[in-house]
Structure 1
Amino acid sequence: MSADTTSSSAEGALRTGEPVQAIDWQGRPVSCSACEFRDGVLAKGLCKPMLACVHDRYAKLIERFFDTNPELSDIGLSHPHFEVRAISVRHASIFKLPALLADPDPEVRAAAVMRLPARQALRLRADADRKVRVAVAARLTGADLVPLGSDEDYYVRMVTARRLPHDMLPMMMHDREPEVRRVVARRIAEDWLIAMAWDEDPLVRLEVAQRLTGHQLAVLLDDPDFRIRFAVAERADPEHLAVLAGDPVDVVADMARSRLTPRQATVIAVDGSPRTGGSPDA
């Protein structure tokens, strides 16, 4: 089978966006005649250019090769192309993977971290590449995660915030990235949650409002963001609703009024509590 031709069945199996020419990772045409798998895998129909090929430059074709021939994955660990090594890790013997933690390519190191026992990921906790540190954060647990809570990369910290034990999350309450603090607000223990009610970012405060008790929501009655006040109006204890019944934003006031007790509604009607009316954009 030549490198630049394929059978009609192979062409039919191609999917939108996949290669139309078999090119290897060095930019050369794939040559089946020179392939080490020619007499075995190829002869059995277990690989094919542009469909499943260990030498192709496209990762998807390499994946198909090893998905079909997982017993060859150990061989792929020493391939000069990093994509082949990284994909081989998924099926290779776990006893051969520790050496890959020192691989020059971060894709390979990250792949090895995801398969090896978590304790082996500790040695890469300070890896120079964020992709590897993200993988490490996804594997470690407990106190081993603490150093990653102050990582320079926000996504490493976000993954860490998703996995830290609840009692360790206070250390990340003041992270410089709002997205990280939102994760913290979703998971932090209730004893600490109210301390985040004064966060400078409204979306963080919204996460807090969705978890505070009806009584605790009183601290957010005067929040400058109508979304937080609406969340308060939805869940606050009834004794706090009268304030929001006169909110200048209609949706907030309507929600608060819909939850008033009959007695509160009567008092407001008699007192004629002011309601200016308005919209979130007013």
Structure 2
Amino acid sequence: MSHDITEAVDWRGNAVDCEACPHRDLKERGLCRPGHACVNDRYARRIDRFFNWNPALADSYLKHEHFEVRAIAAKHATVFLLPPLLDDPDEAVRWNAARRLPVRLIMKLRHDPHREVRIRVVTLLEDRDLVAMMDDPDYYVRLVICRKIDRNLLLKMVHDEETEVRRVVAARLPQQWLTRMADDDEAVVRLEVARRLPPDALHLMKNDPDWRVRYEVASRVDVAEVAGLSDDEDSLVREIVLARLTDESARVTDISR
């Protein structure tokens, strides 16, 4: 282990001085340990361990100069003291306060300047509160939303500017709205649509410019429509068409006997 990890220094880079610490009595009782569990240490893991051992002390550290101390103290402090931390200059502090507060108090964090806070806030909000975040400037925030929100609210996101967002929308959108995405600019989105459309609607995509989409169409479209792909430019598409037509011919022959 390197000296960087084993040394006991505070957030300013000074050596931790147990004699000057107001909690030196805790050391004698085994409730703190230099280099392992210490509120004055610059390493978050050691600060976290200190408050795990001494949660009752967290309230008095919510205004500490070091953001790591405030953020970790917020995990243990009395919940009624946390609302002011929603305006803390550090995103880790704001998030640790938000995760313990009722939804009505954290709504303003939907517009937090830091994307990580907004991403995490999404996990705490209900559908009606997420609708206002569908236009978030960060694509990953929108991606998390479209994975979580009720599928019946996804229609607003079918034209999202980010391909991966639209792909997830296509994977979750109620089937009756899927044809709205059948002409998406990106093949990966259209392929997701083709995989979910019912066979009787797949003919709408049989002229798709991407062979993977046409292959999906040829594999599942109603057999009455599949012949239209027998001259497809891609050999795999032609093969699946031929296989299906052969199977259908054999089935008809068996029925007529």
- Report the TM range for the smaller structure's normalisation: 0.7 to 0.9
Paired position in structure 2 for 1:54: 39
| 8 A Cα contact 1:238 1:261, kept in partner | no
Q: 1:150, 1:23 → 2: CA distance?
A: 44
Q: Matched residues, percent identical?
A: 47
| 8 A Cα contact 1:209 1:231, kept in partner | yes
| 8 A Cα contact 1:241 1:257, kept in partner | no
Q: 2:32, 2:215 → 1: CA distance?
A: 59
Pick from 1, 4, 13 the counterpart of residue 27 of structure 1.
13
Paired position in structure 1 for 2:89: 104
Which amino acid in the other structure matches residue 142 of structure 2? R
Moved more, 248-257 or 178-187: 248-257
Pick from 131, 134, 159 the counterpart of residue 149 of structure 1.
134
User: CA distance change for structure 1 residues 111 and 232 in 2, over 3 Å: closer, same or farther?
Assistant: farther
Pick from 189, 196, 201 the counterpart of residue 204 of structure 1.
189
User: CA distance change for structure 1 residues 89 and 266 in 2, over 3 Å: closer, same or farther?
Assistant: same
Q: Describe the superposition over 1:116-135 as per-residue Cα deviations: whole angstroms up to 9, x where unpaired.
A: 11121212222222232223
Paired position in structure 1 for 2:255: none
1:116-155 to 2 correspondences below 5 Å: 116-155=101-140
Secondary structure of the 1:176 match is coil
User: CA distance change for structure 1 residues 195 and 52 in 2, over 3 Å: closer, same or farther?
Assistant: same
Aligned alpha-carbon RMSD (Å): 2.8
Q: 2:209, 2:116 → 1: CA distance?
A: 38
Secondary structure of the 2:6 match is coil
Pick from 168, 176, 189 the counterpart of residue 174 of structure 2.
189
Paired position in structure 1 for 2:68: 83
Q: Describe the superposition over 1:225-260 as per-residue Cα deviations: whole angstroms up to 9, x where unpaired.
A: 223233334443333433445544344444444545
Question: Mind listing any 5+ residue stretches in structure 1 that lack a counterpart?
Answer: 1-13, 268-282
User: CA distance change for structure 1 residues 263 and 186 in 2, over 3 Å: closer, same or farther?
Assistant: closer
Question: Mind listing any 5+ residue stretches in structure 2 that lack a counterpart?
Answer: 253-257
| 8 A Cα contact 1:198 1:205, kept in partner | yes
Q: 1:144, 1:244 → 2: CA distance?
A: 46
Which amino acid in the other structure matches residue 62 of structure 2? L
User: CA distance change for structure 1 residues 88 and 266 in 2, over 3 Å: closer, same or farther?
Assistant: same
Which amino acid in the other structure matches residue 23 of structure 2? F
Are 1:228 and 2:213 matched, yes or no? yes
Q: CA deviation at 1:47?
A: 3.1
Q: CA deviation at 1:263?
A: 3.1
Q: Describe the superposition over 1:188-223 as per-residue Cα deviations: whole angstroms up to 9, x where unpaired.
A: 222212211111111211222222212222222222
User: CA distance change for structure 1 residues 166 and 33 in 2, over 3 Å: closer, same or farther?
Assistant: same
User: CA distance change for structure 1 residues 254 and 111 in 2, over 3 Å: closer, same or farther?
Assistant: farther
Which amino acid in the other structure matches residue 19 of structure 1? I
Which amino acid in the other structure matches residue 19 of structure 2? S
Pick from 102, 113, 133 the counterpart of residue 98 of structure 2.
113
| 8 A Cα contact 1:119 1:140, kept in partner | no
Q: Describe the superposition over 1:36-67 as per-residue Cα deviations: whole angstroms up to 9, x where unpaired.
A: 32212x22333333333322222233233333
Paired position in structure 2 for 1:215: 200
Q: Describe the superposition over 1:54-107 as per-residue Cα deviations: whole angstroms up to 9, x where unpaired.
A: 222222332333334333333332222111222222232222221211212122
Paired position in structure 2 for 1:4: none
Q: Describe the superposition over 1:117-174 as per-residue Cα deviations: whole angstroms up to 9, x where unpaired.
A: 1121212222222232223322222332222111222222222222333232111111
Q: 2:244, 2:52 → 1: CA distance?
A: 58
TM-score (ref. length: structure 1): 0.77
Secondary structure of the 1:104 match is coil
Secondary structure of the 1:210 match is helix
1:259-270 to 2 correspondences below 5 Å: 259-260=244-245, 262-264=247-249
User: CA distance change for structure 1 residues 78 and 215 in 2, over 3 Å: closer, same or farther?
Assistant: same
Secondary structure of the 1:150 match is coil
